Amino acid sequence: MTMPLRFPPGFRWGTATAAYQIEGAAREDGRTPSIWDTFSRTPGRVRNGDTGDIAADHYHRVGEDIALMRRLGVTDYRFSIAWPRVQPTGRGPAVQKGLDFYRRLTDELREAGIRPVATLYHWDLPQELEDAGGWPERETAYRFAEYAGIAAEALGDRVATWTTLNEPWCAAFLGYGSGVHAPGRTGDAGALRAAHHLNLAHGLAVRALRAAPPAAASPAEVSLTLNLHAVRARSDAPDDRDAARRIDAVGNRIFLDPVFHGRLPEDLIADTAQITDWSFVHDGDLATAAAPIDSLGVNYYSPTEVAAGAGEATGAPSPWAGAERHVRFVPVAGPRTAMDWPVDADGLYELLVRLRDELPGLPLLVTENGAAYDDYADPSGQVKDPERVAYLHAHLAAVHRALTDGADVRGYFLWSLLDNFEWAYGYSKRFGIVHVDFASQRRTLKDSARWYAEVIARGGLLRAT
């Protein structure tokens, strides 16, 4: 027997991508280098020396990719706007050819009955702004607000949802703390400065989006996407619980508290007192960061388990400013993806019900969720990926359980539509439900794509009982 797990009417079924991961056309129509163009050309930074120069060639294949989305039946498409394609130096007027690409993308999405969900920043900072100091510098936040205003004026009558930032934790702590993401800088102090200026940039961008000229304004919702960490203590021992508190402070509350409460976590300030005095936080900054938004995006892939005690000394810089000497990361039991990430859908449920309790009345969107596996096209041309189907089924069931328990989840965006440039892993990891042969750019629906189309058409899951 089967029992359906039906989602509410109007639930938003989406998929998601990011500009540098799929667009290609890195030197066309006025686009200039971003930090990821520079980083990927630095020897040893990206596996196999891969770059996003061509990626999935989405810039030239928009119509084909929208046809795929229409075939799947998605109601929403979450994409990012490449800042250096629109405002190449991060200052001054826009490049109209860059804006024209996103006008065409959003127009064709709307013609296909798909809501455009636009992310303003998915990590592709214009290199000129990085050369001027990047996110550790306050000025970058003001440049981001100017760019947000340009995008809103040009596309405000087309976009259904604006997302200011995608995963600012990664931008700050992987980009400026551990250095494993662009721009590849290291140091706890710079990472904390970057995190604050990203919060400030978010608030300034919300103001800019709200202030778009009336002719361009639309009833678009304004949102933010965070990759919140589902942090678990190994045990109830006080030291283990304190380890979880430290990771929650620098992984979650460093963004949640400023954005939703207009304050910094006091324990985070204490944990990082030997790193910084936080003097880069100016009067009024936290009120600006707390500009009201309409929804919160949640990205989730796997949980984090910690215990007290320093981890194994590797000599590599840590992204956990103020916590690295006090916390040991514990392997999570169970199956793992090709990224070596544990598969545990309960973590998504835990995050959604936490947000239900801490931010009552705020609509939630699961803006990224998916898995990489070593799938391939077989001799018949089919791409069978049962592990991904199982992963997605479990996580959608967790979303349904959170809905049943009162979490106001309005939509689910599967990561990702296409196989793509997977950041420092290059093209070695495949998250897409559409297989891309990067040599020919041929697209092939994987079994997971057909499964997702059935879920959307049905409005929910079939669950064995």
Reduce the secondary structure of 26-39 to three states and give it as a string.
CCCCCCCCEHHHHH
Three-state SS string over 395-409 comes to HHHHHHHHHHCCCCE
CA geometry: angle 365, 343, 429, nearest 5 deg: 85
Region of 96 on the Ramachandran plot (φ > 0 left; ψ -120 to 50 alpha; else beta): alpha
98-103 contact pairs (CB < 8 A, 24+): 98/29, 98/30, 98/31, 99/150, 99/154, 99/155, 101/29, 101/59, 101/62, 102/151, 102/154, 102/155, 103/154, 103/155, 103/158
Three-state DSSP class for residue 290: coil
- β-bridge mates for residue 222, sequence order: 162
Closest to 152 (Cα-Cα) out of 192, 225, 204, 230: 204
Return left, alpha or beta for 10; rule: phi > 0 is left, psi -120 to 50 is alpha, else beta. left
Q: HSE-up of 239 (CA within 13 Å, CB side)? A: 8
Spatial neighbors of 108 by CB under 8 A, at least 6 apart, are 62, 63, 66
Are 431 and 387 within 8 A, CB to CB? no
Q: How many CA atoms lie within 13 A of 280 on its CB side?
A: 21
For the chain, give the number of residues. 465
> Which tokens sit at 318?
């840590």
Q: Which two tokens stand for residue 22?
A: 């799929």
Taking the C-alpha atoms of residue 256 and residue 345, their distance in angstroms, rounded to an integer, is 22
Strands 327-330 and 409-415: unpaired
Q: Catalytic residues, which ones?
A: 167, 368
> Which structure tokens are listed for 418?
């296409």
What is the Cα 215 distance to its own chain's centre?
30
Number of helices and strands in the chain (H, E): 16, 15
Whether the Cβ atoms of residue 61 and residue 441 lie closer than 8 Å to each other: yes
